[in-house]
Amino acid sequence: MTRVKRGVTSRFRHKKLVRLAKGFRGRRKNVYRIAKQAVMKSQQYSYIGRKRKKRTYRSLWVIHINIASRKYGLNYSTLMKQLRLNGIVLNRKQLSDLIEYDSSIFKAIVGSITYSTWDNNSNRNYSRNTINT
C-alpha cells in the first residue's frame, strides 16, 4: 500500500469553507473550527429566510390588494370571493402587479365583477347565532 497524504485535500476543503465565512467578524472568518459552525448557522438562517420571504411577499400582496379594492368600495375578502365566483383566475401576485403597474386594468376587472351572487347570505344557516326562546 502506498501512503496517501491528505494535506492538500484538507487544506482545499478548509479554504473552501473559510471562503464561505468571508465577511464574518472575529475568528469566525478565519479559524476553521469556528468558521464551520458559523457557516452552518448562516445556511440555516438562509434556508429559513427563503421560506419567510414567501410569507412576507404574500402578506404584502394582500395588503396592496386590500388598499386598492377599498378605493372601489370592496374589501379584500369580498373582492377575492367575487373574482372566484365570476371565474376570473388571477393570483395575488398578479393582482398586486396590476395595481402597481397598470391600475386601469385592475379598475376594469373590479368593474366587470357581476354581483348576481352578491346576496348569497340567504343560504347561510344562522341558527347557531340566534337564541331560541
Ranges of each domain in the chain: 12-113
**CATH topology classification for 12-113:** c-terminal domain of poly(a) binding protein (1.10.1900)
pLDDT tens, residue by residue, 43-84: 999 999 999 999 999 999 999 999 999 999 999 999 999 999
Quote the CA–CA distance of 59 and 65 in Å, as a whole number.
Answer: 10
- Please write the tens of the pLDDT for every residue from 40-52: 999 999 999 999 9
**Burial label, 2 (beta-carbon count in 10 A; 0-12, 13-18, 19+):** exposed
Grid cell of 85 as nine digits? 365566483
**What's the pLDDT tens digit per position in 13-29?**
999 999 999 999 999 99
Whether 124 shows a pLDDT value over 70: the answer reads no
| Banded pLDDT at 4 (limits 50, 70, 90) | confident
0.85 exceeded by pTM: no
Residue 22: other Cβ atoms inside 10 A:
9
- The Cα 22–Cα 17 span in angstroms is 9
Q: How far is CA 48 from CA 22, 43, 101, in A?
A: 21, 9, 30
Residue in 63, 61, 28, 57 with CA at minimum distance from that of residue 42: 28
